[in-house]
Each structure stands twice: as C-alpha cells, then as structure tokens.
Amino acid sequence: MGFLHEGHLSLIKQSKKTCDATIVSIFVNPIQFGPSEDFTSYPRDVDRDYKLLESENVDYLFLPSASDIYPKDFQTYITVEYITKKLEGEFRPTHFRGVSTVVLILLNCVQPDYAFFGQKDAQQLAVIRRMVSDFKLDVKIIGCPIVREEDGLAMSSRNIFLSSRERKEALVLHRSLELAKKIISSGERRVSLILSDMTELYTKVPFANLDYIKIVEAHTFEIVDELKTGEEYYILVACRIGKTRLIDNTLIKI
C-alpha cells in the first residue's frame, strides 16, 4: 500500500532474483479499512516511493486509482470463509474481504507468474494462498521473511505514527515472541503457559493494549492448545501502542 520501507524492498529483491521482470503495485485499498480505522491518515508518499523503486531497478509501477479498481457500479467481493473469522478477522471483520478482493483484481490485471508477500501479515498470506488455491489461479505465492529494525521492531508503514516513547514500548512485541521461543526451546509444550508468560510482559508497558496473543497451526491457522513434535506454528500478536495498532509474529518448528 505504499510508503515503502526495507520490508517492501526485500520483496522486490526476491522478485528480481526469481523473475525476468518485476512489477510493483501501489494501492491504498479503501475496502480493507473499517469505518473507525486509519484509511485517511494512512501514510502516502508516491514521489518517495517512485524514487525507491527506481533505485531498485523495478521494471514497472502499477499505480491504479480507486475508480480504476472499483468503478461506480462495482458489486462483487471475495470472501474466504473459515480462516478469516478469527484473530485479525475478529478485530477487523471486513478486512479480509477487502484484501482478497483487491488481490484477486490486481492478480487479474497484471497476470504474474509469481507474487511476493511478507510474512509479517501471516494471516493475510494464508488467506491469499487459500484464495489462489481455491480459484485455481495460475500464480505462485511466495512468502518472504519479516524484516526488522536493528532493535527487533518489525518494519511497518505505521511505525511512523509512534512517538519516541511509544517506539521504545513497541519493542515489547518482539520481546514477547523471543520469550516464547526461549520457553519452547526449554521443552514447554503447553500453550496456555507460554501465552501467560508472554502476556505478563505487556502488563509492564503503560501504552500497550493487547488485542490477542495466539499460537496457531501454520498452514490451517487452527488455534492450538499444545505443541506437537514435527509441526510448524505461528506465534501471533496484535497490540495497540498508544493509538497505533501493530502486529508481529514468528514461525517455529517443533
């Protein structure tokens, strides 16, 4: 959605390693924002983005207007059913309908062989993979690792909204994920105990307001109570730091 950072540029770098031509779309998608969310204030700077894309030798920029994507008589939306009902879907009920609809439109417009998405939006990535599989789309979805600041904060366009104090407090997301990995590496498999220790960290951060911490099976996004050997899981967290809502996750294999 623009206001590019190193996380976005990492997707471009991976595309350039994989593909003959790289196309970047920039579109702040109005239908994935709820009525009380930050669509109007979402950071935008197309001139800056354009210069960054030039520096990365991107072949094409696809920059549609809202009326290009959603003409006046637009009335068709895509809903991925089960996976969208929990976690982000619980807190942002219309979000994934907007994501899956716009991604299908963009894929149809561009007709790529590969499409690259960041793991930071892990549930979004799972929704897109489900849609592509269900609709038999001829595109391979590539998930790319989270890119972090030196202190561990996951890169996000919304980080610009954090005050200096909030920026420091936002590190609790990454700290809690690192704590979970440490607990799991010690042999703990009971999810309730892992989440309890993670949640304790947030009680010590004045500006933090947790939406959720969950551990889910990595492919189905089923919420689990116990970790099993040989399986992959996402540890997911969503938290408001002041007025800014941040998400983060880590992928683990037991």
Question: Cα separation of 158 and 72, whole Å?
Answer: 30
First to last CA, the chain: 34
User: What 3-state DSSP class applies to 204?
Assistant: coil
Longest dimension (CA), the chain: 57
Neighbour-count burial of 10, counting CB atoms closer than 10 A to its CB (0-12 exposed, 13-18 middle, 19+ buried) = middle
- Pick the closest to residue 245 from 38, 59, 79 (CA basis): 38
Kindly name the residue from 5, 8, 174, 219 that is annotated as catalytic: 8
Is 8 one of the annotated active-site residues of the chain?
Answer: yes
Q: Identify whether the C-beta of residue 142 lies closer than 8 Å to the C-beta of residue 117.
A: yes
Instruction: Indicate the residue type of 84.
Output: T
So which residues are the catalytic ones? 8
